[in-house]
Structure 1
Amino acid sequence: MSENKENLKNDENLEVDEIAKDDESFDNKEELSEVEKLQNELSEITDKFYRANADFENIKKRLEKEKISAVAYAGEKFAKDFLPIIDAMEEALKLDYGENELAHKINEGIKHCVDMTRRAFEKHGIVEISNDGKFDPEVHNVISVIESSEHEKDEIVQVYQKGYKYKDRVLRASMVVVAK
């Protein structure tokens, strides 16, 4: 772009010089000054044009990136809305049904639904956040800190709510308790 601008300025200067040589009326400084003013004005307008064109190209590139991102993460809202459902099903699996055979059959159905949901999540890039080891502020929310001689400082002791990622974005951070 700057090459075009320089070429245009050089061409303008050559034309003005040629006119000045051919026409003896340019001996007058006022007329030459007027040509220089017009030349400067043309240069400013040309500069504004190139800047506006560059701004347009930058906006076009940014919008293209946003479009690609919007398409790539189109399912994010749906995935967020589905997280409480899988949480509820997982909580149902933790219940003790005692000797009730019907309740055990229902529990097997719920387990099957949870497994299918996890496979669907994985298929579409939704993965559970690992809660083993140290606290990571990027993917964990600390809801409590406890003293523990069994765990190192900032080590996750308990998980209150699982977190999930959708591709490289955090859908929901894990809610955890860490050791002091």
Structure 2
Amino acid sequence: MSEKEHIDTKNTVSAEDLKPASAPTEALEDKITELEEEILQLKDKNTRLIAEQHNLGARLKRDFDTKKQYAIANFAKEVLDVGDILKTGLANCSDKDSEHFKGMEMTLDKFYHILKQHGITAIDSLHKAFDHSQHEALTSQETDEHEPGIITQVVQEGYQFHERVLRPAKVIVSKKVSQDS
């Protein structure tokens, strides 16, 4: 065979060659569809895992912050007794002009300042309506000066850490004067 005939036979396409090979093509298209669906499922799963990880991180941070606040609150509850002792010492000091008195007064002022810096404040109670969530009534006192349920005396100061009560104020509450008195 000549070289030209050899080239012609190579480039010759028969009718059989032009028929579509449908079975292998359909199988490949099915496989592509299956893989595309798997990709979508994996992308969805990945997105959900990322969101779950983000939520877990946020939850852990919130839990840490809450535990930190509770730790501060527990410590502050115990330290409040020191302030009470200083306040009692000042109230019972006979020489209000002494250096000792002034030093204790400055110490107590610094104590209250530090509490305030950390979000711990005294509960304003005197002449306010009794609130069982902030006050502990030690007794009641008959009086015409105030309506019933008003705090007439604060026996021990109450404190709160932000909006949470650390220690309720111990108070005496007014009540209506009875007819028998």
Q: TM-score, normalised by structure 1?
A: 0.61
CA distance in 1, matches of 2:150, 2:69: 34
Match of 2:119 among 120, 125, 130: 125
Code of the residue aligned with 2:118 in structure 1: it is: H
Residue in structure 1 matched with residue 109 of structure 2 by the alignment:
115
- Residues 1:67 and 2:61 are matched in the alignment: no
Structure 2: gaps of 5 or more residues:
1-48, 176-181
Structure showing greater radius of gyration is 2
Would you tell me which structure has more helix in proportion to its own residues?
1
Residue in structure 2 matched with residue 87 of structure 1 by the alignment:
84
Percent identical residues: 30
Q: Is the 8 A contact 2:159 2:169 kept in 1?
A: yes
CA distance in 2, matches of 1:145, 1:83: 25
Code of the residue aligned with 1:72 in structure 2: it is: Q
- Residues 1:135 and 2:135 are matched in the alignment: no
CA distance in 1, matches of 2:104, 2:57: 48
Residue in structure 2 matched with residue 147 of structure 1 by the alignment:
142
Q: CA RMSD in A?
A: 3.0
Structure 1: gaps of 5 or more residues:
1-52
Aligned residues: 130
- Listed one character per residue, the Cα deviations across residues 103-147 of structure 1 (whole Å, up to 9, x for unaligned) are x21111100000000110111111000013111111101110111
Q: TM-score, normalised by structure 2?
A: 0.61
Code of the residue aligned with 1:173 in structure 2: it is: P
Q: Is the 8 A contact 2:93 2:101 kept in 1?
A: no
